């Protein structure tokens, strides 16, 4: 039996109070809808149709070829949204899995289990449900005294005895493709919200004696829907815990999982230790035997193995094996550090290459620079890379020694093995092996303090 999926993602998400469309809000570093799509793909569905609405271009740009797209111009309800997939699924004879774009925690196994149960029971419709202690906000699953699913009532339409029902609709369904769009066309908007509810299709089939089933999830946290920012935080917390468990079970020590934030997109090698208050975000990759944190942030950054990062921020950069960063370093995008590089306390780097074994131990700004191997950059060194109009490059050759408190006024080249005198403002190239000094000669005034004290 063929299986297609429709992901509903056209809703405005009014309750988010945001200018960003709801399904693009991120959970653990990935848009909600992307989590949903990945789960649907991993459940083995090949044909995926995504229903988009306003700001649909942004959704399509993010997801590209992961799905086919159809548009719902007016948000008239979830049944109406599914109806928009009709032209794409015309003549499709298989089963249709329907998932909402705002349930980012669904696991692929749950989706394939639902479809499997649907197929083996030969149902017209099978709905995924959960038993919740607090069912508030969700549609309730109403069963007959015999236990057969009769209908789903939305919270806003529910009678008091229906509100007490704890079995809720997860918003995930498997439908028999044949006859699906005809059934949808028969639904009406005579409800509290004046919308075409997809949930009404359950009652529609049940009333006609068609087989309708329900499959309850084992783990009710999986179906958490995100409608507002509080639910977004709940989803984030659940997924964060899941990501941390994956990371820990793969051999990473996380000292305090309650205070460690790792995006679902991150990979971390064995025997790395993560200290509290650390954020590892985006497409970051960490090698083996690293020590990260406390209080560090890595964003879209690649670390080799045996790297330490302490109380520092590293963004959009690549760091070789054995590097030592921080405490209190700020590595901005576009940096490439070789092996065994030291970037110490209160150092800022931007768009800079540092060769193997180079050290920038303290209090420096190095930007737009190309620095060779085994260079020592003394405390307080500043590359003056910006003249108010354009940025210029500083080049420093292998083995050079930059004296403390040097200003390197770019564009500038300091040759291999060259030195600069402490406190110099270097404006001209320093040839290889030379010493560049640019500062006033010192004079000493004898007996100065004694003379100063005289009345
Ligand atoms: C829906 C279900 C509810 C269920 C809950 C599970 C209906 C009527 N209710 O309620 O029973 O418990 O999900 O999370 O289906 N969408 C569109 N076009 C629209 C309206 C919605 O594409 O016109 C999309 C939204 O982008 C969203 C999804 O459908 O991804 C669900 O819509 P939402 O408004 O969040 O429904 P709920 O009120 O949560
Ligand atoms: Ca919802």
Count other Cβ atoms within 10 Å, centred on residue 231: 16
| 3-class DSSP assignment, residue 179 | coil
Ligand nearest, relative to CA of residue 9 = 1
Residue 197's φ and ψ, nearest 5 degrees, are -85, 125
Residue having the nearest C-alpha atom to atom 33 of ligand 1: 11
Residue 437's φ and ψ, nearest 5 degrees, are -125, 135
Q: What percent of the chain has pLDDT over 70?
A: 100
Atom of ligand 1 nearest to the CA of 139: 11
Cβ within 8 Å of residue 314, ≥6 positions away: 296, 297, 298, 299, 301, 303, 325, 329, 331, 335
Beta bridge partners of 336: 318, 353
Tens digits of per-residue pLDDT, 226-280?
999 999 999 999 999 999 999 999 999 999 999 999 999 999 999 999 999 999 9
On the CB side of 4, how many CA atoms lie within 13 Å of its CA? 22
Cβ within 8 Å of residue 444, ≥6 positions away: none
Residue having the nearest C-alpha atom to atom 29 of ligand 1: 8
Residue having the nearest C-alpha atom to atom 36 of ligand 1: 78
Q: Is 306 a catalytic residue?
A: no
Atom of ligand 1 nearest to the CA of 51: 22
Average pLDDT score over residue span 75-85: 97
Q: Is 98 exposed, middle or buried (0-12, 13-18, 19+ CB in 10 A)?
A: buried
Tens digits of per-residue pLDDT, 15-74?
999 999 999 999 999 999 999 999 999 999 989 999 999 889 999 999 999 999 999 999
Torsion sign across C-alpha atoms 62, 68, 72, 73: positive
| 3-class DSSP assignment, residue 73 | coil
Quickly state the pLDDT bin for 455 (edges 50, 70, 90): low
Q: Is 273 exposed, middle or buried (0-12, 13-18, 19+ CB in 10 A)?
A: middle
Out of 100, 127, 132, 232, give the residue to mutate to test ligand 1, the one with the largest number of ligand atoms within 8 Å of its CB. Answer: 100
Domains of the chain (ranges plus CATH)?
3-223 (3.90.550.10), 229-436 (2.160.10.10)
**C-alpha 350 – ligand 2 centre gap (Å):** 42
Cβ–Cβ under 8 Å, residues 314 and 297: yes
Judge if pTM exceeds 0.95. no
Q: For residues 263 and 224, give the distance between their C-alpha atoms in angstroms, rounded to a whole number.
A: 18
* Residue located via tokens 């420093």: 396
Count other Cβ atoms within 10 Å, centred on residue 81: 28
Q: For residues 404 and 290, give the distance between their C-alpha atoms in angstroms, rounded to a whole number.
A: 30
Out of 59, 70, 75, 171, give the residue to mutate to test ligand 1, the one with the largest number of ligand atoms within 8 Å of its CB. Answer: 171
Ligand nearest, relative to CA of residue 197 = 1
Average pLDDT score over residue span 147-173: 97
Cβ–Cβ under 8 Å, residues 443 and 425: no
Cβ within 8 Å of residue 71, ≥6 positions away: 10, 51, 52, 53, 56, 84
**C-alpha 103 – ligand 2 centre gap (Å):** 7
Residue having the nearest C-alpha atom to atom 28 of ligand 1: 100
Cβ–Cβ under 8 Å, residues 206 and 126: no
**C-alpha 11 – ligand 1 centre gap (Å):** 7
At residue 46, the pLDDT reads 85
At residue 333, the pLDDT reads 98
Residues near ligand 2 ion, CB 5 Å cutoff: 102, 225, 227
Residue having the nearest C-alpha atom to atom 1 of ligand 1: 171
Name which of 144, 148, 141 is nearest 168 in CA terms: 141
Q: Which residue of the set 35, 80, 306, 362 is catalytic? A: 362
Residue 404's φ and ψ, nearest 5 degrees, are -60, 145
At residue 453, the pLDDT reads 82
**C-alpha 264 – ligand 1 centre gap (Å):** 25
Tens digits of per-residue pLDDT, 303-324?
999 999 999 999 999 999 999 9
At residue 174, the pLDDT reads 98
- The token pair at 99 is 């998932």
**C-alpha 8 – ligand 2 centre gap (Å):** 10
Region for residue 105 given its phi and psi (left: phi exceeds 0; alpha: psi -120 to 50; beta: otherwise): alpha
Tens digits of per-residue pLDDT, 89-118?
998 999 999 999 999 999 999 999 999 999
**C-alpha 22 – ligand 2 centre gap (Å):** 10
Q: Which residues line ligand 1 (CB under 6 A)?
A: 8-11, 23, 51, 72, 75-78, 80-81, 100-103, 138-139, 152, 154, 168-171, 197-199, 225, 227
Q: For residues 291 and 51, give the distance between their C-alpha atoms in angstroms, rounded to a whole number.
A: 44
Q: For residues 90 and 87, give the distance between their C-alpha atoms in angstroms, rounded to a whole number.
A: 5
Q: For residues 275 and 297, give the distance between their C-alpha atoms in angstroms, rounded to a whole number.
A: 11
Residue 1 has pLDDT above 80, yes or no: no
At residue 345, the pLDDT reads 98
């Amino acid at each position: 039996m063929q299986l297609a999926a429709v992901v509903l993602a056209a809703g405005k998400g009014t309750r988010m109070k945001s200018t960003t469309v709801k399904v693009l809000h991120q959970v653990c570093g990935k848009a909600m809808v992307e989590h949903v799509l990945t789960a649907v793909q991993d459940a083995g569905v090949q044909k995926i149709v995504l229903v988009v609405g306003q700001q649909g271009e942004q959704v399509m740009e993010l997801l590209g070829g992961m799905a086919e797209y159809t548009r719902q111009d007016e948000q008239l309800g979830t049944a109406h949204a599914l109806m928009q997939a009709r032209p794409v699924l015309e003549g499709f004879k298989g089963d249709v899995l329907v998932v909402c774009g705002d349930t980012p925690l669904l696991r692929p196994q749950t989706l394939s289990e639902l479809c499997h149960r649907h197929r083996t029971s030969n149902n017209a419709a099978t709905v995924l449900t959960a038993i919740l202690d607090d069912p508030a906000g969700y549609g309730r699953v109403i069963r007959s005294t015999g236990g057969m699913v009769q209908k789903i009532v939305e919270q806003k339409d529910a009678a008091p005895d229906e509100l007490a029902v704890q079995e809720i609709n997860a918003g995930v369904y498997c439908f028999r493709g044949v006859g699906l769009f005809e059934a949808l066309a028969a639904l009406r908007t005579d409800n509290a919200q004046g919308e075409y509810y997809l949930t009404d299709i359950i009652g529609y089939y049940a009333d006609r004696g068609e087989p309708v089933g329900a499959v309850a999830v084992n783990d009710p946290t999986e179906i958490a829907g995100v409608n507002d920012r509080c639910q977004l935080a709940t989803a984030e917390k659940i997924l964060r815990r899941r990501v941390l468990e994956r990371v820990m079970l793969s051999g990473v020590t996380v000292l305090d999982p309650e205070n460690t934030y790792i995006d679902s997109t991150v990979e971390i090698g064995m025997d790395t230790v993560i200290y509290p208050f650390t954020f590892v975000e985006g497409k970051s990759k960490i090698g083996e035997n690293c020590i990260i944190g406390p209080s560090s942030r890595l964003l879209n950054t690649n670390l080799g193995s045996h790297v330490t990062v302490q109380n520092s921020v590293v963004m959009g950069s690549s760091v070789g094996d054995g590097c030592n960063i921080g405490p209190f370093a700020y590595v901005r995008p576009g940096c490439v550090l070789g092996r065994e590089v030291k970037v110490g306390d209160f150092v800022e780097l931007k768009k800079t290459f540092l060769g193997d074994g180079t050290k920038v131990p303290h209090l420096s700004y190095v930007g737009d620079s190309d620095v060779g191997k085994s260079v020592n950059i003394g405390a307080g060194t500043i590359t003056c890379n910006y003249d108010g109009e354009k940025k210029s490059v500083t080049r420093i050759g292998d083995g050079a020694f930059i004296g403390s408190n040097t200003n390197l006024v770019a564009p500038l080249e300091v040759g291999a093995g060259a030195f600069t005198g402490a406190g110099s403002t270097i404006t001209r190239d320093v040839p290889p092996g030379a010493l560049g000094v640019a500062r006033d000669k010192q004079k000493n005034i004898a007996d100065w303090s004694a003379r100063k004290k005289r009345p």
